[in-house]
Amino acid sequence: MVGDVVKQLEDRIGREATFRILSKKMQAKIAEFDRKFELLLETQVSSVVQLKPLQPEEQPSPSHRGEKKKERRYEEGQENAPKKLPVSEEVALAEE
């Protein structure tokens, strides 16, 4: 009788230990799946964004007389302008 109770307890403890081990493995698999799914989703979204055609309001308007030259001059001015690196507020205050 006592032997049967001990045997039942050992079986139950064994099942619970097996369940805990399987639960941990399953949680690890779920976490890995979630990580891979997020990476796949980000890849899909970025490729869709890159392939997305320009909306009519985003498309450049047709060039009228002299507008191309103005745009080019503006772009050249931007390229020739000295570029400053962004500076944090602390550094800007220290320089002043």
Tell me what pLDDT residue 60 has.
Answer: 59
pLDDT at 8 over 80: yes
**CA-to-CA separations, 26 to 1, 8, 12, 15, 30, in angstroms, rounded:** 37, 26, 21, 16, 6
**Tokens at 19, concatenated:** 């369940």
Question: In the chain, what are the domain boundaries?
Answer: 1-52
42-85 pLDDT, tens digit each = 988 887 777 666 666 665 565 555 555 566 665 555 555 555 66
Contacts of 95 (CB under 8 A, 6+ apart): 87
Tell me what pLDDT residue 46 has.
Answer: 81
Mean pLDDT of 13-35: 96
3-state secondary structure of 7: helix
28-39 pLDDT, tens digit each = 999 999 999 999
**Tokens at 93, concatenated:** 């205050």
Contacts of 64 (CB under 8 A, 6+ apart): none
Tell me what pLDDT residue 30 has.
Answer: 97
Tell me what pLDDT residue 17 has.
Answer: 96
Instruction: Please report where in the chains the tokens 């369940």 appear, as a residue.
Output: 19
Tell me what pLDDT residue 80 has.
Answer: 57
Measured distance CA(14)–CA(22) in Å, rounded: 12
